[in-house]
């Protein structure tokens, strides 16, 4: 599967997912979807939007990826994981009937098909659907949604999506459908004309996320340092949906309460999540240039005495731009996530030493975290970051 193996698990067309959907009776056609693509912010945008919709006493499905600890994190209704019994049912059905289809689907393709069937069987009112990689050829891109959302564009997965922001934007814009409104989370000058030309060609009304009056009334500081711009995108999407569904509650008090409690109501994990105190230990799954830049910029605003960073990466991404972002004034504990794509901690240590960043290599993420905890004082910060898979091992 792609999340563990990388490029060799990637499929370049929608043939398999379409065959799987036909086999299952096209459950994707029975779903009212909000389809979300983008380099960063997909997950938090999806969870905030789901919380807003759930607050209306609606059954809201959500499909996200990858998962941290439990496969069922990917498939949720109102924050509750898909039952193990349904997963077992689907796997057994595939094992008994799948050979007749004459295809060899990937893990991701089977998971998306499973999700579509589960959500259709459960008659969800809305499905908030996150792409896995890209957009145009992503397995989720067989739906005709109520609304398409593209959060932002930055560099990630260039081996699949292209080496320029424009090429990446074109791949993400593949989720724009004929006659379906599209919301763009961030105005980016270089790629703005791409979205606008594709939307115009497909007669898809395009709009940009904006601050609404209720956004200005947020009277609390979200624990996630990056969440504010994603709240803006989710809230803008909710406002667009409310114009089509007048039953959606748009009162300020309702919206503020939904946003304040979105993590609890949607089982949101892995982003600036606190594990323990004295010292404070946080995990964050930022893993590309833009995400890590935001994370490390946020660290500069904090008042901890010292920073101890447990860091690991996958080996199939260009590390040079990420290496340049790592704070020089932190102490590092390097570790390899226990997956085939994990980068050897010793190699990581040696490569970073050339850049002036020193640290020790450990045989596991848990051992690296234990060492960081022992070294840190009660007024220090311990941060685990660099890869979703590194974070997953300590949650």
pLDDT, tens digit (0-9, with 9 covering 90-100), for 326-351: 999 999 999 999 999 899 999 999 99
Percent of the residues in the chain that have a pLDDT greater than 70, as a whole number? 93
What pLDDT sits at residue 154? Answer: 79
For residue range 374-390, what is the model confidence (pLDDT) as tens digits?
999 999 999 999 999 99
pLDDT at 222 over 60: no
Please state, in angstroms and rounded to a whole number, the distance separating the CA atoms of residues 123 and 60. Answer: 9
pLDDT at 156 over 70: no
Domain with CATH 3.40.1190.10 in the chain: 2-266
The chain-wide mean pLDDT, for the chain, equals 91
pLDDT at 315 over 80: yes
Please state, in angstroms and rounded to a whole number, the distance separating the CA atoms of residues 210 and 392. Answer: 33
pLDDT at 95 over 80: yes
Mean pLDDT in residue range 184-211 = 94
If one compares 215 and 302, the residue with the highest pLDDT of the two is 302
Would you give the DSSP letter of residue 306?
-
What pLDDT sits at residue 220? Answer: 62
Mean pLDDT in residue range 79-100 = 97
Whether the Cβ atoms of residue 150 and residue 175 lie closer than 8 Å to each other: yes
For residue range 7-46, what is the model confidence (pLDDT) as tens digits?
444 567 899 999 999 999 999 999 999 999 998 889 999 9
What pLDDT sits at residue 10? Answer: 54
Domain with CATH 3.90.190.20 in the chain: 273-392
For residue range 364-377, what is the model confidence (pLDDT) as tens digits?
999 999 999 999 99
pLDDT at 124 over 60: yes
Q: Domain 2-266 - what CATH class?
A: alpha beta
Domain 273-392 superfamily per CATH: Mur ligase, C-terminal domain (3.90.190.20)
Tokens 């459950």 correspond to 27
Please state, in angstroms and rounded to a whole number, the distance separating the CA atoms of residues 153 and 37. Answer: 9
What pLDDT sits at residue 389? Answer: 94
Please state, in angstroms and rounded to a whole number, the distance separating the CA atoms of residues 199 and 145. Answer: 14
Mean pLDDT in residue range 312-324 = 87
Please state, in angstroms and rounded to a whole number, the distance separating the CA atoms of residues 54 and 60. Answer: 6
Q: Which of 41-45, 82-86, 129-133 has the highest mean pLDDT?
A: 82-86
For residue range 258-303, what is the model confidence (pLDDT) as tens digits?
999 999 999 999 999 999 999 999 999 988 888 899 899 999 989 9
Q: Exposed, middle or buried, 305 (CB in 10 Å: 0-12/13-18/19+)? A: exposed
Would you give the DSSP letter of residue 215?
G
Mean pLDDT in residue range 86-115 = 96
Please state, in angstroms and rounded to a whole number, the distance separating the CA atoms of residues 337 and 344. Answer: 9
For residue range 43-77, what is the model confidence (pLDDT) as tens digits?
999 999 999 999 999 999 999 999 999 999 999 99
**Residue 133: pLDDT band with limits 50, 70, 90:** confident
Tell me the Ramachandran region of residue 126: left when phi exceeds 0, alpha when psi lies from -120 to 50, beta otherwise: beta
Please state, in angstroms and rounded to a whole number, the distance separating the CA atoms of residues 374 and 158. Answer: 38
Number of H helices, E strands in the chain: 16, 14
Would you give the DSSP letter of residue 343?
P
What pLDDT sits at residue 39? Answer: 86
């Amino acid at each position: 599967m792609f999340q563990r193996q990388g490029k060799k698990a990637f499929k370049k067309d929608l043939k398999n997912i379409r065959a799987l959907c036909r086999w299952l009776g096209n459950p994707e056609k029975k779903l009212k979807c909000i389809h979300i693509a983008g380099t960063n912010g997909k997950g938090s945008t999806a969870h905030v939007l789901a919380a807003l919709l759930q607050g209306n006493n609606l059954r809201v499905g959500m499909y996200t990826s990858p998962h941290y600890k439990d496969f069922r994190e990917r498939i949720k209704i109102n924050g509750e994981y898909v039952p193990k019994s349904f997963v077992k049912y689907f796997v057994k059905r595939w094992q008994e009937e799948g050979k007749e289809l004459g295809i060899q689907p990937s893990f991701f393709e089977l998971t998306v098909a499973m999700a579509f069937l589960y959500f259709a069987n459960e008659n969800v009112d809305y499905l908030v659907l996150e792409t896995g990689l890209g957009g145009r050829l992503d397995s989720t891109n067989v739906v005709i949604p109520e609304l398409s959302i593209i959060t932002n564009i930055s560099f990630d997965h260039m081996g699949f999506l292209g080496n320029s922001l424009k090429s990446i934007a074109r791949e993400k814009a593949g989720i724009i459908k004929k006659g379906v409104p599209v919301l763009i989370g961030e105005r980016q000058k270089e790629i703005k004309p791409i979205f606008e030309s594709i939307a115009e060609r497909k007669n898809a009304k395009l709009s940009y996320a904006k601050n609404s009056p209720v956004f200005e009334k947020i009277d609390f500081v979200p624990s996630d340092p990056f969440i504010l711009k994603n709240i803006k995108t989710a809230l803008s999407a909710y406002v667009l949906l409310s114009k089509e569904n007048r039953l959606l509650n748009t009162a300020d008090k309702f919206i503020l309460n939904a946003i304040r409690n979105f993590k609890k109501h949607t089982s949101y994990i892995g982003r600036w999540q606190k594990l323990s105190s004295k010292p404070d230990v946080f995990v964050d799954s930022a893993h590309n240039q833009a995400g890590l830049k935001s994370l490390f910029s946020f660290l500069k605003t904090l008042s901890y005495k010292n920073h101890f960073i447990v860091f690991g990466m996958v080996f199939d991404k260009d590390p040079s731009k990420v290496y340049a972002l790592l704070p020089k004034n932190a102490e590092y504990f390097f570790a390899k996530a226990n997956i085939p794509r994990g980068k050897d901690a010793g190699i990581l240590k040696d490569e970073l030493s050339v850049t002036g960043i020193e640290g020790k290599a450990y045989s596991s993420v848990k051992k690296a975290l234990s060492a960081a905890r022992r070294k840190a004082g009660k007024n220090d910060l311990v941060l685990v970051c660099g890869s979703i898979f590194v974070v997953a091992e300590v949650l």
